[in-house]
Amino acid sequence: MFPMEIIKKQLFRDIPCIIGVVQDEGLLKTFDFYGDSKKLSTFVKNFDTLLPGFLEVQDVINNVDNFTSSIKDFYFSENSTIEDYHILLKNITQASI
């Protein structure tokens, strides 16, 4: 059974959870962007449609469009440069979401 199905049917035990993050764990998601600047440029141009899949939230967020625009509004302005996205990329790499 898929994890989301287990959650929806409430077929799980209520036990404590320990979660850890390791430095550069997010490199699994960002590696391709470092090796190919065209991929980062494509991601920036299609940020609204690609971000939900990149963060793997499309199945757990009800209003994905609102979620994506909130992130974009909070972290970027209309005058954002590719350097701003490089900073985000660095932050995602250092600690995966």
Sign for the pseudo-dihedral over CA of 55, 61, 64, 67: negative
Cα 93 to chain centroid distance, Å, stands at 11
Cα 87 to chain centroid distance, Å, stands at 14
* Torsion angle of C-alpha atoms 72, 76, 81, 82, degrees rounded to 10: -50
The confidence score (pLDDT) of residue 18 equals: 82
- For the stretch 13-62, pLDDT in tens is 888 888 877 778 778 888 888 878 888 889 888 989 998 998 888 889 99
Read off the pTM. Answer: 0.62
